[in-house]
């Protein structure tokens, strides 16, 4: 039986240094008023959902495809839950994106020209970061309803992180 122990950043198929998503996004978040930061992240979740669907389109088999589509659905679900906390979510998101248009550029450039394994590892780190961020928002939430929404989002992020790490582990074993 093959070992399933997986160490994401010590893996032989992930030898290059990966971009630090937290550091890249920090200036963008810092320029956004705290109460609007969840909406900025919600927009990033929508972009991530599209990325997952792109990966699903290119998936080698149906099992992999359905896992990636499930990740996409979770990203959309997170965005929907966060947006539901804001009556004017769509207008505010548009306003936010007028100010930091870099979000779409960052979203594109961080993943561009990288092997799929690296893209998965970056995204998995992004999901872990997202989970930690939603937990921080939950701790500061003004209502039980908002707190619960943030905590649910954290769990959804972690499910996607595990899904990606599992796919990555399988790929790295094949390559390794």
Footprint of Fe ion (CB under 5 A): 45, 75, 127, 130, 157
CB 175 → Fe ion: shortest distance, Å? 26
Closer residue to Fe ion (CB): 76 or 171? 76
Q: How far apart are CA 176 and CA 39, in angstroms?
A: 40
- Beta-sheet strands, E only, within 39-108: none
In terms of Cα–Cα distance, which of 134, 103, 127 is closest to 32?
103
- Number of residues that this document lists for the chain: 176
Q: Which residue do the tokens 């971009």 mark?
A: 19
CB 52 → Fe ion: shortest distance, Å? 9
Question: Which one-letter DSSP state was computed for residue 5?
Answer: -
15, 176 Cβ separation under 8 angstroms: no
CB 92 → Fe ion: shortest distance, Å? 19
Give just the sign of the alpha carbon dihedral 130, 153, 167, 110.
negative
146, 85 Cβ separation under 8 angstroms: yes
Closer residue to Fe ion (CB): 157 or 171? 157
CB 108 → Fe ion: shortest distance, Å? 17
Category of 31 on φ-ψ map: left (φ > 0), alpha (ψ -120 to 50) or beta: alpha
Closer residue to Fe ion (CB): 36 or 173? 36
CB 173 → Fe ion: shortest distance, Å? 25
Closer residue to Fe ion (CB): 75 or 93? 75
Question: Looking at beta carbons, which residue is closest to Fe ion?
Answer: 130
């Amino acid at each position: 039986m093959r070992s399933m122990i997986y160490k994401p950043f010590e893996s032989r198929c992930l030898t290059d240094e990966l971009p630090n998503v937290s550091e890249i996004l920090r200036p963008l978040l810092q320029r956004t008023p705290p109460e609007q930061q969840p909406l900025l992240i919600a927009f990033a979740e929508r972009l991530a959902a599209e990325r997952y669907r792109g990966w699903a389109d290119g998936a080698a088999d149906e099992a992999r495809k359905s896992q990636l589509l499930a990740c996409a659905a979770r990203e959309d679900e997170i965005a929907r839950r966060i947006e539901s906390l804001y009556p004017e979510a769509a207008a505010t998101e548009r306003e936010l994106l007028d100010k930091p248009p870099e979000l779409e550029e960052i979203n594109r450039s961080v993943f561009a020209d990288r092997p799929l394994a690296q893209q998965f590892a970056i995204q998995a780190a992004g999901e872990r970061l997202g989970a930690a961020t939603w937990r921080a928002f939950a701790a500061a939430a003004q209502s039980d309803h908002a707190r619960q929404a943030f905590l649910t989002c954290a769990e959804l992020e972690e499910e996607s992180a595990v899904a990606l790490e599992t796919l990555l582990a399988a790929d790295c074993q094949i390559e390794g």
